[in-house]
Amino acid sequence: MNKPSIPKGTRDFSPEEMARRNYIFNTIKDVFSLYGFQQIETPAMETLHTLMGKYGEEGDKLLFKVLNSGDYMSKVSDEELAGRNSLKLASKLCEKGLRYDLTVPFARYVVMHRDELQLPFRRYQIQPVWRADRPQKGRYREFYQCDADVVGSDSLLNEVELMQIEDTVFSRLGVRVVIKINNRKILAGIAEVIGLADKIVDITVAIDKLDKIGIDGVNAELRGCGIPEDAVEKLQPIISMSGTNESKLDVISNVLSKSEIGLKGVDEVRYILDKLKLCNLKNEIQLDLTLARGLNYYTGAIFEVKALDYPIGSISGGGRYDNLTGIFGMPGLSGVGISFGADRIYDVLNGLNLYPADALNSTRLLFINFGETETAYCMPYVQKCRQSGIATEIYPDSCKMKKQMNYANAKGIAYVALAGESEMADGVITVKDMKTGEQRKVSPEELLSVVSC
């Protein structure tokens, strides 16, 4: 028999990993709820109709496609078979695929449920997505996304609140961050004033890589896209601009004085920053004019969050998009959202050891099993502890003490309760603190207060 395995790029999550992941997800969910966001879920499988053409040509290739059930071959003609074209045949063999992100299914959801939804709709969604990417360190074929979006409101208050959510989540997790913001309209304005409005995408993509490839790399990439030398020159002060948010806004509004869209972007950033000043954020908000975010559908504010004390890419990000549901025939609906990178946040919390102890512990108290009589003596107390909300186990087998103590240690159980002949005679229970090793006899009533948190 072959040793069992799992598909490459996928993972099992052990109890310890799940406890850590649940701590992260629960922290995020609590904050989402506090801001009035409600959870939805969509199916793992979507029709290929919904998915194809939404993620570019490369994305189509990275979709996991699900083979049709039954006699799927009967729908394929001899000519099609003979062609042996894997890409073309896939659309004959399959009509469903696995969700590639949460945004397209959400857009599909909004369109399908438009009549039930009260706009603005504040939804969050935490579900796995699947991509047939080449697996590598930190990149998986199955991973969770964790998104919150507001659709149906143009108000910049939504942007303000999303920034507050970022600040609150990372404060609660104990991660010091910088929250970077920018605006696609500013980037569009810049392209306009250097006379290259049609090159906005190329410029955006190049500038976005500043962190990774440095200023020389960005310039090389700009030239590679056919941006003329004088335009590259004009971009330099913008790319390397430093100073306070206010001084940056002053400089850039001068640069963009002749671009309507650019000035609109400046106004939006100013509004958001002004409002956030009233909010006593715990983390710095930084206007970063080189922040571009790769995704093309953003049209207004864009955000990105970086951890200050741990070297890793952005751990959260998002932005405003003006036409979420247009792809499904429902134009004119604006949205703005953020997404938390659960796997990276997990790495940061592990790297900085930021998990509170009580988030990771499972069972608090283990009753040792000495046999039938002792078990019968213990069971009412086991039940009382559970009724008081204390996670409690009784070891199911009356095996060697050492094995039972090993179990308690391996599971990180805080207290062990023992009751043998002498305890039963005295009507008491011996309780051992597994950390200090200290042990003492207590009455059943005392037991509860000893093991309570």
Annotated binding site for L-histidine: 101-103, 131, 145, 149, 293, 297-298
* Binds a second copy by CB under 8 A, chosen from 57, 71, 79, 438: 71
Least spacing, CB of residue 351 vs a second copy, in Å: 22
246 Cβ neighbours under 8 A, 6+ residues apart: none
Nearest residue (CB) to a second copy, 86 versus 436:
86
Interior/surface letters 184-204, b for 16+ CB within 10 angstroms, e for the rest: bbbbbbbbbbbebeebbebbb
Identify which range of 34-42, 218-226, 253-261, 341-349 contacts a second copy by CB under 8 A.
34-42
Interior/surface letters 244-258, b for 16+ CB within 10 angstroms, e for the rest: ebeebbeebbebbee
Q: Considering the rule CB under 8 A, would residue 65 count as an interface residue with a second copy?
A: yes
Least spacing, CB of residue 261 vs a second copy, in Å: 22
Query: How many Å apart are CA 428 and CA 438, to the nearest integer?
Result: 16
- Binding annotation: 101-103, 131, 145, 149, 293, 297-298
Q: Which two tokens stand for residue 381?
A: 């107390």
Q: Considering the rule CB under 8 A, would residue 282 count as an interface residue with a second copy?
A: no
Query: How many Å apart are CA 188 and CA 210, to the nearest integer?
Result: 18
Query: How many Å apart are CA 292 and CA 201, to the nearest integer?
Result: 10
Nearest residue (CB) to a second copy, 411 versus 441:
411
Strand duo 284-287 + 177-183: pairing: parallel
Place of tokens 């659309």: 91
Q: How many residues bind a second copy (CB under 8 A)?
A: 106
User: x/- string (CB under 8 A) for a second copy, residues 356-375?
Assistant: ------xx--x--x-----x
Please provide residue 388's backbone torsions phi and psi, each rounded to the nearest 5 degrees: -90, 10
* Binds a second copy by CB under 8 A, chosen from 49, 258, 282, 440: 49
DSSP bridge pairs for 321: 335
Q: For residues 74-93, which are near a second copy according to CB under 8 A?
A: 74, 81, 84-86, 89-90, 93
Nearest residue (CB) to a second copy, 16 versus 309:
16
How many C-beta neighbours within 10 Å does residue 449 have? 9
Nearest residue (CB) to a second copy, 83 versus 351:
83
Q: Which two tokens stand for residue 397?
A: 């087998």
Please provide residue 364's backbone torsions phi and psi, each rounded to the nearest 5 degrees: -95, -30
Q: Considering the rule CB under 8 A, would residue 316 count as an interface residue with a second copy?
A: no
Q: For residues 395-414, which are near a second copy according to CB under 8 A?
A: 396-397, 406-407, 410-411
Q: For residues 119-178, which are near a second copy according to CB under 8 A?
A: 120, 122-123, 128, 130, 132, 142, 150, 153-155, 157-158, 161, 164, 168
